[in-house]
Amino acid sequence: MSDREKILRYYRTSGEDQLAVKLLDAADAVLRNRKYKVVEFLDPFGYTIAETIIAHYDRLQLITNGGYLGAERQKAAFVHKDFLGKEEFMISALLVSWDSRYYHISHRDILGAFMGLGIKRETIGDIIMLGDSSQIVVDSSMASYIMQNLTSVGSATVTIKEISLDEIRPREEKIKEIRTTVASLRVDVIAAAGFGVSRSKMADEIVADKVKINWQQAKSSSHLIKEGDVISMRGRGRIEVSEIFGQTKKGRISILLKRVI
């Protein structure tokens, strides 16, 4: 079995084989042209697929760029080691503004407005909320289209302009530590403790495809969580399982969660 087939078989079980095919095709193209190939924005899980692939291609290297230092969503470039030029990632930044006295706009609202324009998620990088505005990293090929067509977000009229990548303000994340004990390491139990909802409510959210584990859709409430895993919930942010300390005298498991708020 070839390395390509092994990689596809592995990711087929998680339903991510389509992305794996796209990344493998990009890597194969670089082997042929001995230059480089940039793929669209990847979330952290997509990046792990790219890392898995690059480990099997000793003549290639992997370079990423999300527009600013610390970006969560990044473009990945497969670069042939013989290529001596400079990679062009084609990344632009837009500033969307509105009157915050009358409208409250969320990350989800911004993303929904983009989807309403028929823009694919893969062409959008990070969306950084700033109160009365939002800085959005996008594929450069979409910048003009967005500026011409994005006139409102929900019921709010917005203005939009292009800014330099140097003007991007890295996201300010506040971390809340949660020390607690749980009955088990099931995802519904851990997530319920981290997000402050009931276990039954969390089970419903998982069924509704609103919960991800390490940026991959949670498929079952019984999925066991390990130290270092990141659980995200649509509209509620994310938590990291920072430490698992072991069992208490009462048989519960002591854990430390870090919730991004």
- Is 219 within 8 Å of 256 (Cβ atoms)? no
Q: What is the pLDDT of residue 228?
A: 93
> What are the residue ranges of CATH 3.10.290.10 in the chain?
175-260
> What are the residue ranges of CATH 3.30.1370.160 in the chain?
3-80
Helix axes 187-195, 199-207, angle to 10 degrees: 110
Beta bridge partners of 163: 93
DSSP letter assigned to residue 190: H
- Is 177 within 8 Å of 256 (Cβ atoms)? yes
CA atoms within 13 A on the CB side of 26: 22
91-167, what's its fold?
Alpha-Beta Plaits (3.30.70)
pTM for the predicted model, two decimal places: 0.79
Q: How many CB atoms lie within 10 A of CB 170?
A: 12
**CATH classification of 175-260 is 3.40.1390.10, yes or no?**
no
> What are the residue ranges of CATH 3.30.70.330 in the chain?
91-167
Q: What is the pLDDT of residue 63?
A: 95
Separation CA 53–CA 211 (nearest Å)? 26
pLDDT in tens, the chain (261 residues): 688 888 888 888 777 789 999 999 999 999 999 999 999 999 998 999 999 999 999 999 999 999 998 899 999 999 999 999 999 999 999 999 999 989 999 988 999 999 999 999 999 999 999 989 999 999 999 999 999 999 999 999 999 999 999 999 887 778 899 999 999 999 999 999 999 999 999 999 999 999 999 988 898 999 999 999 999 998 788 999 999 998 998 899 999 999 987
Amino acid at 226: K
- Is 96 within 8 Å of 150 (Cβ atoms)? yes
Longest pairwise C-alpha distance within the chain: 63
3-80, what's its fold?
Ribosomal Protein S8; Chain: A, domain 1 (3.30.1370)
State residue 162 phi and psi, 5-degree precision: -85, 140
Q: Where are the alpha helices (DSSP H) in 39-163?
A: 44-54, 107-116, 140-149
Handedness of CA 206, 15, 225, 41 (dihedral sign): negative
